[in-house]
Amino acid sequence: MSRRDSREAAVKIIFQNMFTDSRLGVAGSGTAVAEKACAPDCAQMIEAYFECAPEEDCGELDKVYISSILEGVLKEAPSIDQYIIKNSKDWTIDRMSRIDLAIMRVAIFEILYREDIPASVSINEAVELAKKYSHEDAGSFINGILGSIYSESRA
């Protein structure tokens, strides 16, 4: 499994769990719910995903990478969502598509907390995932938000 495939799997797992895990859900106030819930841990999320997608080949190193992304997004969801809120003009998080949120959360985590991943790679991958899984304008929307966050993080 390539790094790109691992990132895509992480986005899918986050998207899946946005419906059941209060740490990833969308609260009416426009921020991620931060309280701990009776949700599966990252290893269980990954195992459940690959049980449902047996055609995807995932090695132990892939699972380690995916787990690091999931753990980081779960831990930093409230601050990541604040970046999204701050940089999305005239949009609230509860109005955004959940797949767009999942894509942005992974990319923002990588931009802000993963120095081993170039920001340009995270942004480009996010745009490609948006083109694949979301609506026609999602790539531009996500690119604009991530570009603003990247610029802000370098200032």
Any idea what the CATH number is for the domain that residue 45 is in? 1.10.940.10
- CA-closest candidate to residue 73, choices 133, 120, 32: 32
> Could you give the number of structural domains in the chain?
1
Per-residue pLDDT, 1: 82
Digit-coded pLDDT (tens) for 34-84? 333 334 588 888 887 777 776 677 788 888 899 999 999 989 999 999 999
Which stretch of DSSP H or E encloses residue 146?
helix 138-154
What residues make up the domain containing 116?
3-154
Q: What is the C-alpha separation between 48 and 93, in angstroms, rounded?
A: 27
Bridge partners (DSSP) listed for residue 26: 32
- Give the tens place of pLDDT for each residue, 75-134: 999 999 999 999 998 889 989 999 999 999 999 999 999 999 999 999 999 999 999 999
As a whole number of angstroms, the distance between CA 102 and CA 18 comes to: 8
pLDDT at 34 (0 to 100) = 37
